[in-house]
Amino acid sequence: MMNFTVDADKCTKCGECAADCLWGVIEMDGLPVVRPGNEANCIECQHCLAVCKPGALSIFGKDPADSLPLKGHLPDPAHMETLIMGRRSTRRYRKEGVDPALIRRLLEVASHAPTAVNMRPATLTVVDDPEAMARLRAGMTEAALAAVREGRIPAGWERIGDYIRRCETGEDILFRNAPHLLVVSAPENGLAPMADCHIVLSYFELLANSHGLGTVWNGIARALLTVIAPEFRARLGIPDDHLVACCMSFGLPAVRYHRTVQRPGAVIRSVGYP
């Protein structure tokens, strides 16, 4: 099933693939080999393919030549720092949608985010059609206002109720007029569904910002999908056994920021161990 092959003419027998194999699936016997019965231990991380400098190793039928080279193609640290510190929560959007091909590419790349034991359980549910987003916005806004009027906002969520009331004036406080919504979910009984989903959405956010898109983490949309108006889960096709971990509104921004902000930063402690 692994379709593990080695080009003997290219292989230098360095043993890096075996040394980097987390579960010891690969062994060295002159050339790298996978013993019968070891296949079941593979978590499909493809470290072996990535660590092989001459590109002599193939697994799952993947051709090393189809992978992207890393040397000379990574962003420099200064640009990464600016991207991280310059990212803003965008709450003003243009009406037109993002190119669907770009959205698909962003999702495909973000899905490379690390997950617990490389299980990759997250499902990325995206509303990529602005007209569909307009219908979803209208329906969820109506449901949210009904929940406020009927006193169905849970105790402790009064602030969310206050936000929802602002929709009575026609202000789109739920989605900030963004043309798209991304919902990330994963099976609730997984190893780390909340962490897996938040990591992949963080990757998506930074990549989207590098393309000039605006993003905002949408906790109100998550509250609606999980507690206040859960009927919209089914309408979006989110599986019943999934935990809706996080949501993000995104689109072309109608605001432009010109510099990073200056925050005090987190509490950083350097400790020794006696």
In a domain, 120, yes or no: yes
Q: Which token pair is 236? A: 């979006």
- Rounded to 5 degrees, φ, ψ at 250 are -155, 165
Name the one residue in this structure whose structure tokens are 């105790």.
155
Name the one residue in this structure whose structure tokens are 């995104």.
250
The reply to whether the predicted model has a pTM over 0.85 is yes
pLDDT band at 265 (very low <50, low <70, confident <90, very high): confident
In a domain, 130, yes or no: yes
N-to-C CA span, the chain: 48
Domain carrying residue 20: 5-66
Given a cut of 90, is residue 1 above it in pLDDT? no
Residues 10 and 54 in one domain: yes
pLDDT of residue 79: 97
pLDDT band at 250 (very low <50, low <70, confident <90, very high): very high
Residues 124 and 45 in one domain: no
> Is 224 in contact with 174 (CB distance < 8 Å)?
yes
Residues 116 and 159 in one domain: yes
Residues 165 and 43 in one domain: no
Residues 153 and 176 in one domain: yes
In a domain, 265, yes or no: no
In a domain, 25, yes or no: yes
In a domain, 268, yes or no: no
Number of domains in the chain: 2
pLDDT of residue 262: 94
In a domain, 182, yes or no: yes
Where a domain ends, among 22, 43, 66?
Answer: 66
In a domain, 91, yes or no: yes
In a domain, 9, yes or no: yes
